Amino acid sequence: MKHIPNHYLFIILLFLSEFIFAQKEKLSGYYLIQRHYVNRAENDSTALPLIAKVIRKAKAEKNYLQLQQGYNDALFYSPNPTIKLKYADSTIYAAHKLNDDKVLAKAYMSKGIVYFYNFKKYRLALTEFLKANDKSCHSKDPYARNKIKYWIAVVRSYIGYHEESLKGFKETTAFFEREIEKDMHPNLMYNNLMGYYNSLHQLAICYRHLKNYKVADSVIAIGISATYKNPDYKLEYSSFLKEKGINNYINKNYKEAISSLSASLPELKNVNDFGWAAAVYSYLGNSQLELGHIENAIYSFNKVDSIFNKQNFLLPEVRNVYETLITHYGKLNNTERTLYYTKQLLKLDKRLEEDFIYLSSNIHQNYDSKKLLKEKSMLERNGLYGAILVTVLSLLLIIVGVYNVKIKSKERSVSVLSENKSGEVIEEEIQSSTFRIRQINKLEIQTKIVNDILQKLEEFENNRDFLQSGVIVQKVAEKFQTSPTNLSYVINEYKGASFNRYVSELRINYITDKLNTDPKYLRYSMEALAEECGIASRTNFSNLFHEINGIRPVDYIKKKLEDLQ
């Protein structure tokens, strides 16, 4: 080895020390800001002005790792679900810039959780979870893999695959239980404890649905004991109380059920977990009914109906509320109320049926088959996939048949999306006697159309194509090589908005992000800001900004300038 002269060695060491010092200084700039909010509670909006500084600094330095973290922090501390969703999109944007599959998987999962937890839009959530799963398949991060496994198991549980869900939750419970026995940073410990408690909660749900009530009670007892009077896990404690109340109802301990269910409600309502809040009201009403408290029961059942009207979502186990209300008002000869609740039940059944078909298909085709193919990679790929697909579709046919027999009291027609050679939508009215077989045959076609459009929409968003002038549904559909009807359908179903609203939100989110991260935009005129985001007039820009952000752009900019001083 060639000898390096001492003076050269000194110069090299000096250079390295300066480089290391510079890196520490660069990191400390973010740390000095982050340390002021990192211990605040989730949804604490007072952290957002500090996070805006992190985002602004990371943008200026093109530090996409810190930018992604800043957006992720903003998502965590924003109390508004719509704002959370905007920041979830921003985390994906920054993760793409990093070109890191591990970070991208986390970003997709975060967006899925917002859809799942804050909006109860299971279709949209599953799409993001499957993207996360694809990106994490080669990951060496077991925490991330188990968290994704957890969320996909939750979707399974929702559509009734409790045996399969149970296996998944047993695996995640065992993993997180091993992790919390290790010596680790308090933040990592908190995350793993959350994973453990949430997995325990879902285990209890699965055991309940599988009628293994003794084991469910044991799991609930462990959860309650671990989270009792712990301010960091109030929601988890309430979730276990909720399960305790439901099991008390099943065991006909109605007074105890009412006590536990009532105690679980405040925290569920506090975090706007309307799905489980509705379930609690349903079991409260059933318990009150058993005790002869008719008025209280009807009040609880109407709380369920109110949640459904507002959120267009209920868990499948809650549908019996409408059957009870129909019977109750039928006996009273109240035709108006009987008809109303009958219509509500039909509406709920349609929603559950649509979710069941879509979620079942995508879990099996986009998750299970990929997982099985990976595990059986030594076998012939095509032969195995064909066997799996045939088996899955056969099972799905049986399950859908059983489910429909259970929930449908009379025949009704539904629409199936398919596409002919010219790219136009074919709407077929299918009677329930032939629905199941023909719907299964259409599933693969429908899924391909939807997934193709969703992929192109992702490119549309990432490339900022929505900033161009003259963005109309016909032109975008032509570019996507699909029909305007199909494009509008997918945007409505998977983005939760009309085409025009979808584009408007993208534009306003874009310019809002610029105002948050680049101070030069705070000096732009309203006309310049409107032009920058592709909106034709100042008036339209101001109205849309106010509608989406809840504040006029002039006032928003004024507030931002005050924060910078």
pLDDT in tens, 30-84: 888 888 888 888 888 888 989 999 999 999 999 999 998 999 999 999 988 888 9
Q: Give the integer Cα–Cα distance in Å for 505 and 29.
A: 33
**Total structural domains within the chain:** 2
Q: Is the pLDDT of residue 279 over 90?
A: yes
Q: Give the integer Cα–Cα distance in Å for 251 and 441.
A: 43
∠ CA(43), CA(48), CA(51), 5° rounding?
Answer: 120
The per-residue pLDDT of the chain, averaged, comes to 80
- Six-digit token pair at 259? 């006590």
3-class DSSP assignment, residue 495: coil
pLDDT in tens, 152-169: 899 888 888 889 899 999
Q: What is the phi-psi region of residue 550: left when phi exceeds 0, alpha when psi lies from -120 to 50, beta otherwise?
A: left
**Higher pLDDT pick, 11 / 357:** 357
Percent of the chain topping pLDDT 90: 37
Pick the last residue of a domain from 140, 163, 180.
140
3-class DSSP assignment, residue 271: coil
Q: What is the residue range of 127's domain? A: 45-140
- Six-digit token pair at 507? 């534009």
Q: Closest Cα to residue 364, out of 156, 146, 209?
A: 156
Is 301 within the bounds of a domain?
Answer: no
Q: Is the pLDDT of residue 24 over 80?
A: no
Q: Give phi and psi for 418, each to the nearest 5.
A: -145, 180
**Higher pLDDT pick, 11 / 68:** 68
Is 218 within the bounds of a domain?
Answer: no
Chain centroid offset of residue 509 CA: 19
- Residues ≥6 apart with Cβ < 8 Å to 125: 112, 113, 115, 116, 151, 155
Is 71 within the bounds of a domain?
Answer: yes
pLDDT in tens, 521-539: 998 999 999 999 999 888 8
Quote the longest CA-to-CA distance of the chain: 102
Is 100 within the bounds of a domain?
Answer: yes
- Six-digit token pair at 226? 């671990």
Is 346 within the bounds of a domain?
Answer: no
Q: Is the pLDDT of residue 413 over 60?
A: no
Percent of the chain topping pLDDT 70: 79
Q: Is the pLDDT of residue 471 over 80?
A: yes
* Confidence band for 365, pLDDT divided at 50, 70 and 90: low
Per-residue pLDDT averaged across 386-402, rounded?
47
Pick the last residue of a domain from 81, 112, 140.
140
Q: Containing H/E element for 308?
A: helix 294-311
Is 277 within the bounds of a domain?
Answer: no
What pLDDT score does 513 carry? 84
**Higher pLDDT pick, 493 / 502:** 502
Q: Which of 15-24, 66-75, 199-208, 265-274 has the highest mean pLDDT?
A: 199-208
What pLDDT score does 376 carry? 44
Q: Give the integer Cα–Cα distance in Å for 273 and 252.
A: 26
- Six-digit token pair at 270? 């506090």
Pick the last residue of a domain from 123, 140, 157.
140
Is 119 within the bounds of a domain?
Answer: yes
Is 311 within the bounds of a domain?
Answer: no
**Higher pLDDT pick, 189 / 458:** 189
Per-residue pLDDT averaged across 307-324, rounded?
91
Q: Give the integer Cα–Cα distance in Å for 517 and 423.
A: 41
C-alpha distance from residue 3 to each of 6, 9, 348, 444, 485 (Å): 9, 10, 80, 68, 74
Dihedral sign for Cα 181, 186, 191, 195, please.
positive
